[in-house]
Amino acid sequence: MLPSAVEELLRYANPLNHATDRYTLEPVEIGGVTIPAREWVLCVTSSANHDPSRFGSPDALDVGRDAGGHLAFGHGIHYCLGAPLARLEGEVAFGALLARFPNLSLAAPAATLRWRPSSLIHGLESLPVRLC
C-alpha cells in the first residue's frame, strides 16, 4: 500500500499549505466571485485537498483510498519538478522504517500533537514514536 499511502499522506497533510504567489493579469471569476486585475492571489491547495466534493470524508486519513488528483505538488506550468523524486523518497523512507520497525507506534496521545505555526510549511512540531 506504500504508493497509495504516500499519495494519501500528501493529500491529507499537505507539506505545503499553498502555492507561491500568483497575480491576476485580468479579472478572473471563480465560484461566483470576480477577482479584479492586478490582485495578489493565494491558492490554498490544502483547502482544495480537503474539498468534500472531490474527496469523500476528506478529514479522514485513509491510506487505501485513491487520492489521485490532489494538489500537494501544485498544478499546471509550475507543477513540482521534484514530485517523482519526493514520491520515491516517501516510499523508500516509509518502507524501510516499517520493515525495520514493524511495531512502530505513536508514543504520545494523538490529541497532544501540534502543527508548526507556519502559513506555508505544514508539519508537526514533533512526532514521538515507539520503535518496538
Binding region for ligand HEM (CB under 6 A): 15-16, 19-20, 72-74, 78, 80-82, 85-86
Indicate the residue among 81 and 111 with the shorter CB distance to ligand HEM.
81
* Distance of closest approach, residue 8 Cβ to ligand HEM, in angstroms: 13
Indicate the residue among 113 and 121 with the shorter CB distance to ligand HEM.
121
Indicate the residue among 28 and 86 with the shorter CB distance to ligand HEM.
86
What does the alpha-carbon distance between residue 59 and residue 32 come to, in Å, rounded to a whole number? 26
Q: What is the dihedral of CA 82, 93, 124, 131, to 10 degrees?
A: 180
